[in-house]
């Protein structure tokens, strides 16, 4: 009978130390304000000419609303030799933030209705809502080229 209180104390101590060691509880570390956001949602295909790229959608309201629009084929215009953009016919939910750095293969929403597919990475001061990320960016810049291009988005 004396073992039960000791067991309860051990469980309490273990729970305390386990929760203290979980990721995200270190607010004093050098990288505490750096967040790596990884897409974890559904898969989609992006067709550019004869090239097919797979992308992973983020799990957020904007990505869910974008997913509901699929499939769709868009004539995307080039801007700044680093992105293709298209003004969607309707607005999507916005949860924008400044990513600091755009990565090649980011599919984002600028404002509430401008779809942007980035084919070159760069630092930015603009805010975007994340929609998806191309899984393998090999040849993406070449496939998109530097002029307007037709792109098809569909669920995988």
Looking at every residue in the chain, the average pLDDT score rounds to 83
- For residue 90, give the 3-state DSSP assignment: coil
Query: Distance (Å, rounded) from C-alpha 145 to C-alpha 81?
Result: 9
Strands (DSSP E) found in 1-105: 43-48, 51-57, 72-79, 83-87, 101-102
Tens-digit pLDDT profile for residues 14-46: 444 444 443 344 333 333 333 345 556 699 999
**Residue-level pLDDT at 129:** 98
Query: Distance (Å, rounded) from C-alpha 155 to C-alpha 69?
Result: 10
Q: State how far Cα 57 lies from the chain centre.
A: 6
Strands (DSSP E) found in the chain: 43-48, 51-57, 72-79, 83-87, 101-102, 106-110, 114-118, 122-123, 129-134, 149-155
Tens place of pLDDT per residue across the chain (156 aa): 555 554 454 444 444 444 444 334 433 333 333 334 555 669 999 999 999 999 999 999 999 999 999 999 999 999 999 999 999 999 999 999 999 999 999 999 999 999 999 999 999 999 999 999 999 999 999 999 999 999 999 999
Whether the model clears a pTM of 0.85, i.e. scores above it, the answer is no
Question: Could you tell me which of 110, 134, 105, 99 has the C-alpha nearest to residue 120?
Answer: 105
Instruction: Provide the 8-state DSSP code for 3.
Output: H
Domain 46-155: assigned CATH number: 2.40.100.20
**Residue-level pLDDT at 44:** 97
Query: Distance (Å, rounded) from C-alpha 54 to C-alpha 155?
Result: 9
């Amino acid at each position: 009978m004396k073992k039960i209180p000791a067991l309860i104390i051990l469980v309490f101590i273990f729970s305390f130390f386990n929760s203290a060691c979980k990721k995200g509880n270190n607010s004093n570390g050098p990288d505490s304000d750096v967040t790596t956001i990884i897409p974890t949602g559904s898969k989609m295909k992006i067709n550019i000419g004869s090239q097919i790229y797979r992308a992973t959608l983020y799990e957020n309201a904007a990505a869910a609303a974008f997913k509901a629009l699929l499939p769709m084929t868009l004539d995307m215009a080039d801007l700044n030799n680093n992105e293709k953009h298209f003004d969607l016919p309707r607005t999507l939910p916005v949860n924008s933030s400044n990513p600091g750095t755009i990565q090649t293969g980011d599919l984002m929403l600028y404002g509430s209705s401008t779809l942007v597919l980035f084919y070159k990475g760069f630092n930015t001061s603009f805010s975007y809502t994340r929609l998806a990320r191309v899984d393998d960016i090999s040849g993406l810049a070449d496939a998109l080229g530097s002029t307007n291009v037709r792109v098809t988005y569909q669920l995988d």
